[in-house]
Amino acid sequence: VAEDVPPVTLYARTIEAVADYVKKNNVKRVVVMTGAGISTAAGIPDFRSPKTGLYANLARLNLPYAEAVFDISFFRQNPRPFYELAHELYPGKYRPTISHCFVNLLHKKGMLLKAFTQNIDCLEREAGVPGDAIVEAHGSFATQRCIDCHTEYPDAKMKEAISKKEVPHCAQQECGGLVKPDIVFFGEALPEAFHRNRSLPAQADLAIIMGTSLTVQPFASLPSFVQEDTPRVLINLERVGGLGSRADDVLLLGDCDEGVRKFADALGWREELESMWEKA
């Protein structure tokens, strides 16, 4: 072979070939890894998309830098910008997307080993995926507590504070510390559940990475824990995280709902998926 011919990365697998692999190998240990891109179709902005991303639209909060809104030391000084934003992001107003329903369909078919999500919108749960099948690596709005004494704060009082854009303070009189939802801020440790489950990608017989820029560690390392000979499917607007570097990688670049529909077509699950989404 002429020396100067660039190595052609043979994507040994198309999505149809992955669907064949799923059927032929009785795949049942699928690990899904998702980010904000699977919730944009629900109306929740992602973080880093150039025009529409959250970080491009926080100017009104006069932050020193965009990610400060989720930074624990900035929050201690000034919790107001976060509570402005929380009012918009708070779960309950949004419906799961067809991508969330696809994760639930994998679960219903007994094929989901674990769904790792970076999202705080709880839409995987709302799509029907049971809590023990999900690792909310960056926490969620589901619970909240005082950042000083860690006393849990009542849900009803939190909902009220968020709807009024008020900053809630600790229920313990003598404390009075700031209350924050159990979302992992920059500068905070990830939940123990993330560390307990981080060996699962190595046990997967199929990995599906959807709607994430894979820019935030340690979540961004998960795809690299998947075994070399296990297919990794990226469903994302852009190529990220070194996906495509392995012969068994498949890149479905474009809108994730369309990519999921294409995958469902190849699996023969399209009707089931669409009817599940109608009911979501």
The residue within the footprint of ligand APR, chosen from 29, 237, 244, 262 (CB under 6 A), is 237
Give the binding range for ligand APR (CB under 6 A) out of 77-85, 108-116, 205-213, 242-250: 205-213
Is 107 designated active site?
no
Minimum distance from residue 173 beta carbon to ligand APR (Å): 33
**CB of 144 or CB of 236, closer to ligand APR:** 236
Q: Burial code of 10-43, b = ≥16 C-beta within 10 A, e = fewer?
A: eeebebeebbebbeeeebeebbbbbbbbbbbbbe
Q: Burial code of 81-110, b = ≥16 C-beta within 10 A, e = fewer?
A: bbbebbeebbeeebebbbbbbbbbbbbeee
Instruction: Say which of 87, 100, 107, 138 is annotated catalytic.
Output: 138
Which x/- pattern, by CB under 6 A, does the window 132-161 give for ligand APR? Answer: ------x-----------------------
Strand 139-146 vs strand 179-183: parallel, antiparallel, or unpaired? antiparallel
Give the separation between CA 190 and CA 126, rounded to whole angstroms.
Answer: 22
Give the binding range for ligand APR (CB under 6 A) out of 6-14, 22-30, 32-40, 75-83: 32-40
Judged by CB under 6 A, does residue 223 bind ligand APR?
A: no
Alpha helices in the chain (DSSP H): 15-24, 72-77, 80-89, 98-108, 123-126, 155-163, 192-197, 256-267, 270-279
The residue within the footprint of ligand APR, chosen from 123, 240, 251, 276 (CB under 6 A), is 240
Residues of this chain that interact with ligand APR (CB under 6 A) are 35-37, 40-41, 46-49, 53, 118, 138, 211-213, 215-216, 236-238, 240, 255-256
What amino acid positions are annotated as catalytic residues? Answer: 138
